[in-house]
Amino acid sequence: MADIQYFGHACFRLRGREGIVVCDPYDRSVGPDLGRPTAHIVTVSHNHPGHNNTAAVRPVRDQEVFVVDGPGEYEVKGILITGVRTHHDNQKGAAHGHNTVYVIRLDDVVFCHLGDLGHDLSQSQLEEIGSVDVLMVPVGGDETIDSSQAMNVVSQIEPRVIIPMHYAIEQSSFVRNLSPLSTFTHELGLKDVDVHEKVSITPSSLPGEDDETRIMVMRPTKE
* Tens-digit pLDDT profile for residues 157-166: 999 999 999 8
Higher pLDDT, 151 or 143: 151
Total structural domains within the chain: 1
The domain that contains 145 carries what CATH number? 3.60.15.10
Alpha-carbon distance 179 to 182, whole Å? 8
**Does the residue 223 lie in any domain?**
no
Structure confidence by residue, pLDDT tens digits, 104-129: 999 999 999 999 998 999 999 999 99
**Does the residue 204 lie in any domain?**
yes
* pLDDT surpassing 90 at residue 143: no
Mean pLDDT score of the chain, rounded to an integer? 88
Tell me the three-class secondary structure of the chain, residue by residue.
CEEEEEEECCEEEEECCCCEEEECCCCHHHCCCCCCCEECEEECCCCCCCCCCHHHCEECCCCCCEEECCCEEEEECCEEEEEEEEECCCCCCCCCCEEEEEEEEECCEEEEECCCCCCCCCHHHHHHHCCCCEEEEECECCCCCEHHHHHHHHHHHCCCEEEEECCECCCCCCCCCCCEHHHHHHHHCCCCCCEECEEEECHHHCCCCCCCCEECEECCCCC
Higher pLDDT, 213 or 176: 213
Enclosing domain of residue 75: 2-218
**Does the residue 158 lie in any domain?**
yes
* pLDDT surpassing 80 at residue 211: yes
**Does the residue 182 lie in any domain?**
yes
**Does the residue 64 lie in any domain?**
yes
